[in-house]
Amino acid sequence: MPTTSAPPLPVYLDYAATTPVDERVAAVMQRYLTVDQLFANPASRSHMLGWQAEQAVEQARRQVADLINADPREIVWTSGATEADNLALTGFMRANRERGMHLVTSTIEHKAVVDTARALESEGFEVTWLTPGPDGRVTPEQLERALRDDTTLVSLMAVNNELGTVNDLKALADVAHGFGAAFHTDAAQAVGRIELDVAAQQVDLMSLSAHKAYGPKGIGALYVKRHPDIRVEALIHGGGHERGMRSGTLPTHQIAGMGEAFALMGEVGEADRPHIDALKARFLAGLAAIGGVHVNSPAEHGVSSIVNVAFEGADGEALLMALRDLAVSTGSACNSASVEPSYVLLGIGVPRALAHSSLRFSFGRFTTEHEIDHALGLIRHALGGLRTPQASN
Ligand SMILES: *Cc1c(COP(=O)(O)O)cnc(C)c1O
């Protein structure tokens, strides 16, 4: 073993937290920054440089719209999916308060939805929190029971970021519409993992993020269906950009990067999938051979890119410490007093002890079989040190 070389980089199995920017995306972003490039303000109407930057923004808008089968005029740029979720929930509920004050969502949504819904509760709106089944899915029947005459919006995610669970968007949207409510979905984890088609799936509002799809951090979009009933009130006021829904100078390089990332996803996303399916199968087989492993991700209706597993007899934080050469995540939240296990795992009924022993592994375009095998070796080794033999009584 050479002892002088730099330590190897950790194996990155945290694609659900963020993805690396694809080289092809980074190359496009470079064109919109420096003095000899298209750095101008896309809102500058008085010169050629502004128009050219605007053209770049509009091309990206088309690229994003194309991937979800929307019209470019239905795409509103935001700083990410967090802001898109805030705009969808708060913007829609406020704009429609005359029609009703009731929102329906689930307990295992991303914090960007959960915390926004909580903030709406403190503003006087009423929220019904659906508890999904053990697979993380909300059923149309369950949704139907929660809907009321004064429900104006239903928000349920496309793909859960901790479990990989895929909701049936079309079936849920149909139920919402049957009660006259609009349907929002957070699709940050869904881009490239499942087919997204706002027309076929009857989605009215969809949150998107670039950095979960090989684009840059700090840029996202909200799809807002062009329909008189689908209106959102701005949260950020200023120059009236984005048809008054979201003011602020548009970051051309970020937007061009998101456009390129989404266009690329349209081209190679389908080729990514069998690759990632194979990685998941290999990983699960390796885990089964290690033993004492409980898979929290659903056997059916889940994406291959996310595998959430509990390791019996091993504390998740201790395991994470022992797995320093592996970049993975726990869904736990630390506060000063304790480590709280993931609210998503608790939300689908995983017992506390197992939730404490759980890690999320997530794969992507650049993950290799070699990395999976290496990770399995590290896990086997770490567990050997942590799983102390149990006393027999
Ligand atoms: C990452 C993520 C977000 C937040 O997206 P940002 O662009 O980082 O703000 C929201 N929802 C889900 C499901 C996510 O995975």
State the number of CA atoms in the 13 A half-sphere of 358 facing the CB: 30
Q: Which residue has the tokens 């009130």?
A: 233
Q: Determine the pLDDT at residue 317.
A: 80
User: Does residue 106 surpass a pLDDT of 90?
Assistant: yes
Alpha-carbon span 201 to 186, nearest angstrom:
13
Q: Determine the pLDDT at residue 391.
A: 41
User: Does residue 18 surpass a pLDDT of 50?
Assistant: yes
pLDDT (tens digit per residue) in 199-241? 999 999 999 999 999 999 999 999 999 999 999 999 999 989 9
Extents of the domains making up the chain: 11-21+270-386, 23-264
Ligand 1 atom 2, closest CA = 188
User: Does residue 162 surpass a pLDDT of 80?
Assistant: yes
Share of the chain above pLDDT 90, in %: 88
pLDDT (tens digit per residue) in 295-322? 999 999 999 999 999 999 888 788 888 8
Mutate to test the pocket of ligand 1, among 77, 156, 159, 212 (most ligand atoms within 8 A of CB): 212
Prediction pTM value: 0.95
Alpha-carbon span 208 to 185, nearest angstrom:
9
14 lines ligand 1 (CB under 6 A): no
Question: How confident is the prediction for the chain on average, in pLDDT?
Answer: 94
Mutate to test the pocket of ligand 1, among 186, 208, 258 (most ligand atoms within 8 A of CB): 186
User: Does residue 389 surpass a pLDDT of 80?
Assistant: no
pLDDT (tens digit per residue) in 283-302? 999 999 999 999 999 999 99
Beta strand 75-78 with 11-12 is unpaired
Positions annotated as catalytic residues are 334
Fold assignment, 11-21+270-386? Aspartate Aminotransferase, domain 1 (3.90.1150)
187 lines ligand 1 (CB under 6 A): no
Residue 310: strand pairing partners: 294, 358
User: Does residue 393 surpass a pLDDT of 60?
Assistant: no
- Number of helices (H) and strands (E) in the chain: give both, helices first: 12, 14
For the record, the structure tokens of 355 come out as 């939730």
Q: Quickly state the pLDDT bin for 392 (edges 50, 70, 90).
A: very low
Alpha-carbon span 250 to 185, nearest angstrom:
24
CA 4 to centroid of ligand 1, rounded, Å: 40
CA 157 to centroid of ligand 1, rounded, Å: 11
CA 16 to centroid of ligand 1, rounded, Å: 9
For the record, the structure tokens of 244 come out as 């008054």
**Single-letter amino acid, residue 109:** E
Alpha-carbon span 188 to 220, nearest angstrom:
9
Q: Determine the pLDDT at residue 261.
A: 98
Q: What is the DSSP letter of 315?
A: -
Q: Quickly state the pLDDT bin for 340 (edges 50, 70, 90).
A: confident
Name the class of domain 23-264. alpha beta
Index of the ligand 1 atom closest to the CA of residue 219: 7
Q: Determine the pLDDT at residue 155.
A: 99
